[in-house]
Amino acid sequence: MAKVSGGAAGEILAARYLIDKGYRLLATNYRSRFGEVDIIAENERFLVFVEVKTRGENAYFEPREAVTAAKQQKIIKASMGYIVQHPTDLQPRFDVIEVLSDPRAPMKAKEIRHLENAFDIGNSHAWF
């Protein structure tokens, strides 16, 4: 059996989590010239752009701390490209999913934390 990296395992676990919560997956690892969005999903109200961060349970920092302002800018720009290609009436939202895992068993999450609306566009003129 092929070994799965911790980051890839975290994204798979996050996608399963979202499906279990009633979201419909639209894209994974969506790439544009501006950046990448790990997961794009929707529910009845929101088009959700998700950044997944995976860490071992004994990490020194919270996974969300790796979603810096620069990373947020890239995600927002990439998401705007997605919306241009796939128009929708749904409200966009930016979430972070933290996956805490055991490095010896990356496909088994010790904990999954879904941070809805973890960041927003703010002053949209600054992004373009």
Q: What are the structural domains of the chain?
A: 6-118 (3.40.1350.10)
Q: Does 51 score more than 80 pLDDT?
A: yes
Q: Which of 31, 123, 120 is nearest to 78 (CA)?
A: 31
Q: Which residue has the higher pLDDT, 99 or 4?
A: 99
* pLDDT band at residue 1 using 50, 70 and 90 as cut-offs: very low
Per-residue pLDDT averaged across 54-71, rounded? 83
Residue 6: the pLDDT is 59
pLDDT value at 114 more than 90: yes
In this prediction, residue 4 carries a pLDDT of: 56
pLDDT confidence bin for 110, thresholds 50/70/90: confident
Whole-number Å distance between alpha carbons of 25 and 96: 15
Cα–Cα dist 48/6, whole Å: 23
Q: What is the pLDDT of residue 49?
A: 98
Q: Which residues contact 84 (CB under 8 A, 6 or more apart)?
A: none
Given this model, what pLDDT does residue 76 score? 95
pLDDT band at 3 (very low <50, low <70, confident <90, very high): low
The mean pLDDT value for 94-123 works out to 87
**Mean pLDDT lowest among 20-34, 44-58, 110-124:** 110-124
